[in-house]
Structure 1
Amino acid sequence: MSYVKIWVHVVFSTKNRFPFLTKDIRYEVFNHIIENCREKDIFLQAINVYTEHIHCLISSGKDQSIAAIAKLIKGESSFWINKQQLTSQKFT
């Protein structure tokens, strides 16, 4: 049986690179993404959150596509930020 490990560096940016991710909420978003990945069986090796973008180093499983993983991380975290009302205006 062969073994393959694929690492993907995913970078998400806010719309127009607006600095939504201030120091006030950065830690909460960081922890939420880590927990979300655990729940969805996404292997997240590293994450770093800046004011206008996020870096994630992930490894995809045999049944996961890169597009699906990116959607699960980015889409769910954006939804969560808006639901928690962490920003004064809609997070995009």
Structure 2
Amino acid sequence: MPNTYFKLHIQFVFAVKYRAALIHKEWKEDLHKYMTGIFQQNNHKMLQINSMPDHIHVFIGMRPHQSISALIQNVKTESSKWVKAQKFCKGSFGWQEGYGAFSYSASHVPDVIRYIQNQEIHHRKETFLDEYRKMLKLFDVEYDEQYIFEELI
């Protein structure tokens, strides 16, 4: 009987709308748990999640039954609703349109996990936009500067 075999490791990076610093230390772990639940309900394996006030990194073992765009749309929609329902933000909360999705070989998994765990240390030296541009260049992704995540107006 034939089977389907796969091993997909994907890191997602996306920002709070207008890159506003809305993810607070007091509730970010709850957000991570909630988002982990969404990924798991979609039958994906959470490898690492961490956020800064204005963006989030998620690293998963992805199953091939769902498209990346459908998964991220679901995660962003449901987590935004949850943050609003919890009244964590005085104003509105939402994720910016767009995201980065980067694939890694199994040999890179430990390094990516460490990288995401150490976001606070990493961002003492490098801004989110510089980090994001570096990732796009490293993965040879063509991009237009005007469509990089919007800053607070």
TM over 0.5: yes
Aligned partner of 1:32: which letter?
Y
Are residue 48 (structure 1) and residue 50 (structure 2) matched?
A: yes
Determine the structure 2 residue equivalent to 1:18.
Answer: 20
Alpha-carbon distance in structure 1 between the residues aligned to 2:86 and 2:55: 19
Count residues with an aligned counterpart: 92
What is the deviation of 1:2?
A: 5.6
What aligned pairs does 1:3-82 form with structure 2 within 5 A after superposition? 3-82=5-84
Do the aligned residues in 2 keep the contact of 1:12 with 1:74 (CA within 8 Å)?
Answer: no
Instruction: Name the CA shift for 1:2/1:29 in 2 (closer, same or farther; >3 Å).
Output: closer
Do the aligned residues in 2 keep the contact of 1:8 with 1:59 (CA within 8 Å)?
Answer: yes
Instruction: Calculate the aligned-residue CA RMSD, in Å.
Output: 1.5
Structure 1 length-normalised TM: 0.88
Do the aligned residues in 2 keep the contact of 1:42 with 1:60 (CA within 8 Å)?
Answer: yes
SS at match of 1:24: helix
- Runs (4+) of structure 1 exceeding 3 A deviation are none
Alpha-carbon distance in structure 2 between the residues aligned to 1:67 and 1:78: 16
Q: Which has the larger radius of gyration?
A: 2
Structure 2 length-normalised TM: 0.55
Identical amino acids, percent of aligned pairs: 26
